[in-house]
Amino acid sequence: MCKNTCCFLGHRRINETEELKSKLAEIIEKLIVVEKVDTFLFGSKSRFNILCLELVTAMKEKHPHISRVYVRAEYPYITEQYRNYLLENYEDTYYPKKIMNSGKAAYVERNFDMIDSSHYCVVYYDKDSVPTNRKSGTKIAIDYAMKKGKIIISVL
């Protein structure tokens, strides 16, 4: 799933501007048309992820072949009803088996799985908005993506 796959990583809260939306739309369009990305991985608990999902969903009209995949950090086993609910907005969903029993680290481990499965990582990281009393999950993910040699596209 790597060469033609992109994941999104960013803060729970973002400064959502028209400029940001426009820049993201341009990046996503280029990934689809120029880089031939056809699979986009999404996490949860982040306004950045929601914004990216909205933009990718809008682009499905022009590029119906692209696929949106929700990577769960919770609920390793889901009911058919919940799966169908998720598939209203995504083409697929999965729970990475390697994060089973990760506890509080489930979201970090889920992000690592998304990065491992992607060639491109579109990131929203604002170091000035990160609390100094704890580690930033987004920063942890970006450091991991760099270590893994992924192509990181920053929107800030």
Q: Which domains does the chain have, with CATH numbers?
A: 5-154 (3.40.50.450)
pTM for the whole thing?
0.94
Give residue 126's pLDDT: 85
How far is 86 from 74, CA to CA, in rounded Å?
Answer: 13
Flag whether pLDDT at 39 surpasses 60.
yes
80-134: pLDDT as tens digits: 999 999 999 999 999 999 999 888 899 999 999 999 999 999 999 988 777 677 7
